[in-house]
Chain A
């Protein structure tokens, strides 16, 4: 490991001599489902980091499929403690790193980076307290949420990331209730409200966007958060070959806006679909959710939520530009990588 991994294009990734060897931070041979969106997310993030990286993972799909005793798919230092502690664990490793450097236990400064991965259950729900606290303490790490909108590792129960009307084992489609009653929690907004250096939403199908966002996050000291939509073939019940098509539809329907936030106050929407597709197209592709097409009132709530969020983001972006101008800050350069600003 610790080899330079300048991956920007899929073609480069495919031609990299180590792609199918042991040099990937997450090596092949793990046990994730065919068509799972998690491995591309993990690889896009870790391959974008050009330094030795210590990884922590919350209990969940990624964890139970990659470190199964006595084998491991992790070719980088990796720890899993439990479902809810990941923020505290990776934060403490960062503190230990600083102390051990100061005390001379670590003889050379290898510039180690710290990355945590958690699903939406481990991030939006049970892990949120430890995560928010680690943010407030200002530890230096990147937290990536692979958001598959439910507890998929336990067979799909609703989480606070599950959208309105969606089926789950705990929100079945019955005679008096149609799927989940409540809208999804907007965790990315909540993380931005912490005022941390970098917050972003991303989608695995735009790999250049996710690798770029990872590089941007790593270039900034302090706590960084990226929320990535992760279509789940098993629970959303689409064909394994359609994972990236689903991710693309989520962005094209504005269901999953791709944007970034600097210091909690400068917002930028990275992709603005000129002719947004109707939400029905995205919903129809998911058997877990497509029953709502028969319920106009539920569909209307979903579209309203999507439109209002999108409109809010555009306003935040406009406001950010004005704010930057007022403060004498170059808005565009805020979002560039350090080498682009050099």
Chain B
């Protein structure tokens, strides 16, 4: 039976603890706020000989991902972490990693993109990764970040796709909270033995030489991408399987989405990451006023849980999608379009509206989400009208 202890940790400390327990072979590191202190904490474990991990202090995030690709292709268990512009810088190599079907864990300590420069939280960086064929999990708090990293390692190696664990910069990464930590042995048993190659055809098996990163001409490129497409659809089952296995050691049952008071809800708000706590509080406030509202959190962002969401929204009248990033495309935020697909597939196709919030670390308050629910209800009832699908909350005009 797993031993657990509750200790006060920041999100970055909890992530470093998960990294220590998993004992990755390689960690490629490059500093960027608010990720920097995570690798600083981890470097202490390396310096004190508490892990077998070798840190490679690379020259930038592009090389960080390249180092992960090289080491993963060699057969090692690898991790790196970054944020905001660092994620943007490594995007080219994210496609290479997934195209080569390599298990790699990337921690994205979510940060806004320049310009203007902001080191604070929003989800614009993660939205750059949404079409890269990386699996992507969002974490609401340090506890979930810790759990997600452990599960991600296993999911990635089972699926042979790389995986991103997102947690909000500063709001989660630098805030102290109680985190329930599993014992080392339980974690190590869960992620599997450390003395095996992580992939079926490692480069270092010199007796069976393999070619990684070939060119594909028009006669084969489509077939390569189709295989990737088909296999990425299999990720749903693998994630569910690992979530179920994790429930046995951690007594917490995760799902692709988390529903809060949605059963009879007429109006549902949807968010990702740390703002979900505020959203649940707002649901409670409105429930006390007699309004039938609920909330949904997206945990598995890629592949997107479109069927589960369609099911969860099938009885709602209206849906407010709360996006922590803008797409600047005349339609709405990135999450809005994903949820719109789910709405199209749902039974009653509820009314849907998009709100942009929390950009560049703007503090999220209950009153912001209260406004969103209010506006949604008025729009849905025809009391107010709209000339676009998306609007900003929290703007000083």
Contacts and interface: CB of A to CB of B under 8 A. Distances in A.
Interface stretch (A60-68, A247-255, A285-293, A315-323): A60-68
Interface string B188-224: 0000001111000001111101111111110010001
Contacts of A137: 56-57
Contacts of B63: 85, 87-88, 129-130, 133
Given A72-B214, A137-B57, A81 B69 contact: yes
A69 B56 contact: no
Interface residues of B, number: 48
Given A77-B204, A103-B52, A96 B66 contact: no
Nearest to A90: B70
B224 A69 contact: yes
Contacts of A133: 58-59, 63
A112 interface: yes
A91 B70 contact: yes
B59 to A, nearest CB: 3
Interface string A80-93: 11101101111111
A1 interface: yes
A79 interface: yes
Contact of A97 (B68, B74, B197): B74
A32 interface: no
A69 B210 CA distance: 12
Interface string A122-156: 00000001101100010000000000000000000
Contact of B217 (A52, A68, A95): A68
B59 A92 contact: no
Contacts of A84: 62
B76 A74 contact: no
B75 A96 contact: yes
Given A85-B66, A88-B67, A100-B74, A80 B203 contact: no
B26 A88 contact: no
Contacts of A10: none
A88 B195 contact: no
Contact of B52 (A70, A78, A88, A102): A102
B54 interface: yes
A92 B70 contact: yes
A77 B62 CA distance: 23
A90 B70 CA distance: 7
A219 interface: no
Contacts of B62: 84-85, 88, 130
A3 to B, nearest CB: 12
Contacts of B58: 88, 130, 133
A102 B28 CA distance: 18
Contacts of A1: 206, 209
B71 interface: yes
Given A68-B217, A100-B25, A130-B66, A81 B59 contact: no
Choose among A2, A96, A132 the residue with the greatest number of B CB atoms under 10 Å from its CB: A96
Nearest to B76: A96
A219 to B, nearest CB: 20
Contact of B211 (A74, A81, A105): A74
Contact of A92 (B67, B92, B196): B67
A270 interface: no
Interface residues of A, number: 48
A92 B210 CA distance: 17
A106 B204 contact: yes
Interface string A180-198: 0000000000000000000
B160 to A, nearest CB: 16
A54 interface: yes
Contacts of A325: none
Nearest to A113: B206
A93 B96 contact: no
Contacts of A103: 25, 52, 194-195
A224 B376 CA distance: 64
Contact of A80 (B76, B204, B212): B212
Nearest to B57: A137
A106 B205 CA distance: 8
B96 A82 contact: yes
A104 B197 CA distance: 10
Nearest to B59: A133
Nearest to B212: A79
Contact of B25 (A89, A90, A99, A112): A99
A1 B210 CA distance: 12
B70 A56 contact: yes
Interface string B24-66: 0110100000000000000000000000111011111011101
Contacts of B74: 54, 92-93, 96-97, 100
Contacts of B215: 63-64, 67-69
A137 B203 CA distance: 22
B368 to A, nearest CB: 42
Contacts of A87: 63
B93 interface: yes
Nearest to B214: A67
A98 interface: yes
Contact of A68 (B25, B207, B214, B224): B214
Nearest to B221: A69
Contacts of B207: 2
Given A82-B93, A92-B70, A112-B204, 14 more contacts: A52-B206, A56-B70, A63-B215, A69-B216, A77-B205, A81-B70, A92-B74, A95-B54, A98-B54, A100-B74, A104-B195, A105-B75, A105-B196, A130-B66
12 contacts: A74-B209, A78-B212, A79-B69, A81-B93, A88-B67, A92-B67, A95-B54, A96-B74, A105-B196, A132-B59, A133-B63, A137-B57
Interface of B: 25-26, 28, 52-54, 56-60, 62-64, 66-71, 73-76, 78, 92-93, 96, 194-197, 203-207, 209-217, 220, 224
Q: Which 9 A-B pairs have the closest CB atoms?
A: A85-B66, A133-B59, A80-B213, A92-B67, A88-B63, A96-B74, A52-B206, A89-B70, A92-B70
